[in-house]
Structures are given as C-alpha cells and as structure tokens.
C-alpha cells in the first residue's frame, strides 16, 4: 500500500523492522535506557549487535516522546533513530507524546539529510496503545511535518502483524 504527499512517498508493508535493507534509518520503539528489550527493541539490538547498546548508553535515559540517533552497527541501515513511546494509560497526554515521537524522529532524520525512514507501530506492543488510535496519530503527524522536510523522500511503516498492516492499509487508502 502506498501513497504520495508533497513528493514524499509513504508506504505500509507487513514485515520485520530489522530487515529493511533499502532504508537509510530505521526507528526503534526503544525503552528509556536504550538497551535491548522485547519486540522491536529486541529485534533491532539482536540484529545490530552489542555495539549498538554500547553507543546508546551515554544518551540514556530518554523521556517519552524524545528521539535520539545512533549508527546502525550490523543492521543493513546507516542509522537507528530511537524513540520512547508513551505507555498507554500512564504517560500523558499520550496522543501528544506519541506524535512527538514521529515528529522528533523525522526532524532528526531531516537534519542528518537522511532520505528514507522506516517506522514500527510505536507504543502498540508492550506499551498498550490501541492500533487504530496509534495509526491515526502516526499518519496525522507525518502528514503535518512532511511540508517541512527537505531531505526525507520515503517513509515506510513496517507492521509485524497482518491485522496491524490491514489497519494502516485502510487508513492510507483514505489519504
Ligand atoms: P512498545 O514498547 O513501544 O509498545 P513493542 O516493540 O512492544 O514497542 O511493539 C511495537 C509494535 O511493533 C507492536 O505492534 C509489535 O507487534 C511490533 N513489532 C514487534 N516486533 C517487530 C519487528 N521485528 N518488526 C516490526 N514490528 C515489530
């Protein structure tokens, strides 16, 4: 599923965030300590190797909504952008904090002149954010920031599960 907003190509695929070899920067649904975890943070750190956690240590802890950038280490990507999503029902206001993740990640990518960025569905796993609401925040925020981007040309949403992919597919079709 793909669409185009202001010359920026937006797409959603079903897949693994740690296997996006044609993308310059992948986004990690990180924990505050920027260390290996479950879900996305597990897949990214396992594929990147221990050098990633080592590089990240001095940047930790990060706050909900914040994003920091590191190298890609053994991943097929030049960079990892680590975002701490809000824990649903606990970090408030959760909609703003989730939007901050997408905004800050794309701002950092553009500052680094990165051409392509892949996002997982931040906060929708262990952090419990309902997928429909999280997808609305992701797409709305990306749409808002796109006119300000000078270097990012492609944004890919990578959904692990089929039903999550279907949610993105349906909502992107309406863009
Ligand atoms: P959070 O703690 O921000 O909720 P999780 O990593 O637990 O982050 O989950 C975020 C989303 O990413 C969930 O929808 C989960 O199903 C999905 N996910 C888990 N592993 C992967 C992976 N390897 N690639 C892409 N998405 C993944």
pLDDT digits (tens, 9 = 90+) for 44-93: 999 999 999 999 999 999 999 999 999 999 999 999 999 999 999 999 99
Q: Are 90 and 76 in contact (CB under 8 A)?
A: no
Query: 133 alpha carbon to ligand 1 midpoint, in Å?
Result: 15
Where along the chain do its domains lie? 2-173
Q: 94-139 pLDDT, tens per residue?
A: 999 999 999 999 999 999 999 999 999 999 999 999 999 999 999 9
Q: Are 157 and 168 in contact (CB under 8 A)?
A: yes
- What secondary structure letter does DSSP report for 59? G
- What secondary structure letter does DSSP report for 151? S
Q: 130-161 pLDDT, tens per residue?
A: 999 999 999 999 999 999 999 999 999 999 99
Geometric angle at alpha carbon 126, from 123 and 129, rounded to 5°: 40
User: In the CATH scheme, what is the code of domain 2-173?
Assistant: 3.40.220.10
| Number of Cβ atoms within 10 Å of the Cβ of 174 | 7
pLDDT of 46 reads: 98
Q: In angstroms, rounded to a whole number, what is the distance separating the alpha carbons of residues 108 and 140? A: 18
Longest dimension (CA), the chain: 42
pLDDT of 1 reads: 76
Ligand 1 pocket, CB under 6 A: 16-18, 29, 38-41, 43, 85, 120-127, 158, 160-161, 164
């Amino acid at each position: 599923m793909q669409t185009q907003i202001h010359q920026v190509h937006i797409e959603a695929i079903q897949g693994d965030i740690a296997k996006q070899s044609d993308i310059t920067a992948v986004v990690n649904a990180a924990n505050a300590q920027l260390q290996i975890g479950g879900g996305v943070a597990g897949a990214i750190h396992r594929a990147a190797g221990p050098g990633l956690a080592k590089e990240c240590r001095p940047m930790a802890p990060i706050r909900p909504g914040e994003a920091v950038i590191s190298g890609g280490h053994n991943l097929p990507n030049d960079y990892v952008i680590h975002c701490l999503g809000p824990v649903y029902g606990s970090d408030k206001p959760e909609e703003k904090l989730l939007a901050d993740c997408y905004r800050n990640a794309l701002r950092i990518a553009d500052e680094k002149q990165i051409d392509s960025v892949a996002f997982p569905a931040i906060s929708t796993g262990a952090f419990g954010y309902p997928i429909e609401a999280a997808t609305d925040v992701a797409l709305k925020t990306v749409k808002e920031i796109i006119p300000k981007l000078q270097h990012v040309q492609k944004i890919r949403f990578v959904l692990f599960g089929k039903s999550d992919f279907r949610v993105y597919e349906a909502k992107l079709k309406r863009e």
